[in-house]
Amino acid sequence: MDKQAKIYVAGHRGLVGSAILNNLQGKGYNNIITRTHKELDLTNQLDVASFFEEEKPEYVFLAAAKVGGIVANNVYRADFIYENMMIQNNVIHQSYVHQVKKLLFLGSTCIYPKNAPQPMKEEYLLTDTLEYTNEPYAIAKIAGIKMCESYNLQYGTNFISVMPTNLYGPNDNFDLEKSHVLPALIRKIHSAKLLSETKFDEVIKDLNVSNIEEAKAYLAKFGVSENSVEVWGSGKPKREFLWSEDMADACVFLMENRDFGDVMASRHPELVSGSLKQPEIRNTHINIGTGVDVSIKELAETIKDIVGFKGNLVFNTEKPDGTMRKLTDVSKLNRLGWKHKVELKKGIEQIYNWYLEINE
């Protein structure tokens, strides 16, 4: 990509999209186009077609999606499959129609089977059944991978799919019902600490409610009091966390330095050359992660230490655990030349400071 290349970042206000935008701007890219959800609903086929016709981007980062934590995925199953399939169908197809030079599609490690061997290699895709809590979302993401692969093979496009592990960082979603575990626990544990220190004005401001009774009643629904914080599930599942700015750096690195062919198959040249022979293993995507995971209990205890909350953690086994483990094998990404920089403890300190600053 040269610095004047026209680059469309879809989802530029989200956790990953905002980090990609910053990374590109920091590297001197000066022809970036963006649209908010309100300005362009990517589920609308005609609007997306008109947008590509007008703007003709040369490169596309597809970081717009319907995203949420375990409960949101489990409850809003129809929205997750419908919106994600519509967004990716429209953006990937129009990228082909308008001859986009390269597109990066963001999937998720939930595409792998629920009981996949650990760490999970790219080739474990479609080898067994999925985790139920996020099956509709995962199926949409698998369709996205296969769409990129199919367009590459039939039409010679250069579309790369990446499968990030659980992400966190600035502009994350801190909603207690719909967010992922890391921002949810930061907010819950921070609120409990404020209650324990009787800093009621700060709690009221953070929740945007009119008085402390209302704030306490709201927090109680999520198991937060001055003495304790509820953690969903048994605390035994393990998760791997990647800082969003590292994730953005990996995405830009791949767009700058790698092609679909590198991802696909130095081991399977017949796929890239378009031969009809079906390969034994179809590597179509790359994992992005750290290769290190922690249990949810360890995560909650680390956040508790960093926040400085002295109360208890209470595990609510009525809430789902989800997949027990989904550690990525990142050897392929490392071989392609990229490795993460921010370790978990430092990242939690950074995101907690960010959270405090935006609430000042």
Ligand X SMILES: NC(=O)C1=CN([C@@H]2O[C@H](COP(=O)(O)OP(=O)(O)OC[C@H]3O[C@@H](n4cnc5c(N)ncnc54)[C@H](OP(=O)(O)O)[C@@H]3O)[C@@H](O)[C@H]2O)C=CC1
Distance in Å, CB of 328 to ligand F7E, minimum: 12
Q: Is 43 in the site for ligand X (CB under 6 A)?
A: yes
41 binds, among ligand F7E, ligand X, none (CB under 5 to 8 A by kind): ligand X
Other beta carbons within 10 angstroms of residue 78's beta carbon come to 9
Q: Is 79 in the site for ligand F7E (CB under 6 A)?
A: no
Distance in Å, CB of 179 to ligand X, minimum: 9
The C-alpha R_g of the chain, in whole angstroms, comes to 21
The secondary structure element, H or E, covering residue 243 is: strand 241-243
Q: What's 143's DSSP letter?
A: H
Cα–Cα distances (Å) from 220 to 73, 201, 224, in that order, read: 23, 17, 5
**Is 155 one of the catalytic residues?**
no
- Confirm or deny that 11 is annotated as ligand binding: yes
Q: Is 232 in the site for ligand F7E (CB under 6 A)?
A: yes
Q: Is 296 in the site for ligand F7E (CB under 6 A)?
A: yes
What phi and psi, each to the nearest 5 degrees, are found at residue 330? Answer: -105, 20
- Confirm or deny that 74 is annotated as ligand binding: no
Number of residues that bind ligand F7E (CB under 6 A): 25
Angle between helices 181-196 and 200-207 (to 10 degrees): 150
Q: Is 27 in the site for ligand X (CB under 6 A)?
A: no
284 binds, among ligand X, ligand F7E, none (CB under 5 to 8 A by kind): none
As a whole number of angstroms, the distance between CA 124 and CA 105 comes to 19
- Confirm or deny that 180 is annotated as ligand binding: yes
Name the residue nearer to ligand F7E (CB basis): 108 or 157.
108
* Of positions 4, 25, 30, 37, contacts ligand X by CB under 6 A: 37
- The residue range among 64-72, 198-206, 275-283, 323-331 that interacts with ligand X, by the rule CB under 6 A, is 64-72
CA atoms within 13 A on the CB side of 303: 28
* Of positions 321, 336, 350, 352, contacts ligand F7E by CB under 6 A: 321
Q: What's 131's DSSP letter?
A: P
Angle between helices 15-26 and 244-257 (to 10 degrees): 60
Q: Is 326 in the site for ligand X (CB under 6 A)?
A: no
Other beta carbons within 10 angstroms of residue 311's beta carbon come to 17
* Of positions 24, 60, 65, 194, contacts ligand X by CB under 6 A: 65
As a whole number of angstroms, the distance between CA 237 and CA 85 comes to 28
Q: Which of 139, 77, 129 is nearest to 107 (CA)?
A: 139
Other beta carbons within 10 angstroms of residue 213's beta carbon come to 10
Q: Could you tell me which residues come within 8 angstroms of residue 319 by beta carbon, excluding any fewer than 6 positions away?
A: 70, 71, 232, 233
* Of positions 57, 119, 136, 164, contacts ligand X by CB under 6 A: 164
- Residue, CB closest to ligand F7E: 69
The residue annotated as part of the active site, out of 8, 96, 112, 137, is 137
Do 295 and 238 meet the contact criterion of CB atoms below 8 Å apart?
A: yes
Distance in Å, CB of 297 to ligand F7E, minimum: 9
- Active-site residue list: 137
**Which residues contribute to the site for ligand X (CB under 6 A)?**
11, 13-17, 36-37, 40-43, 63-67, 83, 87, 106, 108, 164, 166-167, 173, 180
The residues of the shown chain that bind ligand F7E, judged by CB under 6 A, are 68-70, 73, 108, 110, 133-134, 137, 166, 179-181, 184-185, 231-233, 237, 239, 296, 319-322
